[in-house]
Amino acid sequence: MLAGKRVLVGIGGGVAAYKVCEVISTLAKAGVEVRAILTDSAQRFVTPLTVTTLSRHPAYTDESFWAAAHDRPLHIQLGEWADVFLIAPLTANTLSKLALGLADNLLTNTVLASTCPILVAPAMNTAMWQQQTVRQRWQALKDLERFHAIGPEEGLLACDTVGTGRMAEPEDIVPYLSSLLHSKGTRDLTGKRLLISSGGTREYLDPVRFVGNPATGKMGLALATAAWHRGATVQLVQASSLLEVPSGSTIAVTHVVSAAQMQDALVPAFPQADWTIMAAAVADVKPQQYATTKLPKHELPAALPLASVPDIVQALGQLKQPHQRLVGFAAQTGDIAPPAFEKLKRKGLDAIVANPIDVADSGFGGDRNQAIFIDAQGHQTPIPHCTKLEMAHRILDLIAKLT
């Protein structure tokens, strides 16, 4: 999703500028072409040499802007070059300029000379962030179609204040840039309500032992994140996962443990969902008996009597209305398509994502995956080996095409 793409980074004058260095480094290592603009005040926090070294390209400053050595005006060249534009940290000063369409330096002139999506990551003291004039400018900027916002977050600030004003973390900024590169900034899922399950359910024998699986929830979280980036209203039902949604996101999260708890969370929410994606690995069975205290080793049964658990996907398939889309997942070994398609038919799904768990660097726990997307007519669309965020976007694209 990132290799060969062109990302322009505008660095503002704030202490959080050091975080942008990690963003630039991560992008460059992923094969992204990175160009960076530093405002005059940004150079008081990070040097052009640092940014040049990390981006593998000379950094631009206002001194570059006023130089006469360019074939065409520099801000025009950079504005036309970029696939996506990141401005971080977005200071109160630059925020106001962008909201009003002002341009008095290389960064703000390049914004006006560009047409690509722009991701802004504000950072400032809490009192500054809460000023009425700042809030008005922030709302005005977010109302502009080109601008996408991440953060600010709440926490300990450099001034020792605890409050809202921290810049979003690099691990949240880079995925958002990836999503913008895929969607080209369109919010094509605006107005859609998505219900997504993730993680692996656990069925406990006693307080410390359970029947479960290796699912971590990475695929479901990637789907929720991608959908949020594209404008959807997202509810995530997350089972036994330590993963957190991106800070500042509007993703609503319900934490569950067992299949019964997951069913209790999904069934009431299902009627309001336009698309439901069942990415969770739900247990098929549970111990018949549950001990409220830890069983001594010598009391563990030699054979574990099992009972069935609710078939959540099938139950939702019976409730599905014509306007709704219900998509399942099938983690398989061997020839993955036939059993996945049989599951689709048996459970009344609109589509199913079959992914191999016996292939290296795919399936449970990893950051990458591969799959076959199968619709109700049996049409198969391979999704090649890629990051789970990229797979999430491809799945959303394919669901949008279902008739």
Active site residues: 159
How far is Cα 321 from Cα 348, in angstroms, rounded to an integer?
11
Question: Whose structure tokens read 């009344």?
Answer: 348
Residue matched to tokens 């069935």 = 308
- Classify 205 as helix, strand or coil: strand
CA distance 258 to 266: 12
394 φ, ψ to 5°? -65, -40
For the chain, give the number of residues.
403
Strand partners, 380: 374
> What type of residue is 201?
T
Helix, strand or coil, per DSSP, at residue 15: coil
Torsion sign (Cα): 52, 55, 60, 61: negative
Cβ-count burial 226-242 (b if 16+ within 10 Å, e if not): bbbbbbbbbbbbbbbbe
Residue 116 DSSP symbol: S
Q: Which two tokens stand for residue 217?
A: 């929830």
The first and second tokens of residue 84, run together, are 């996506």
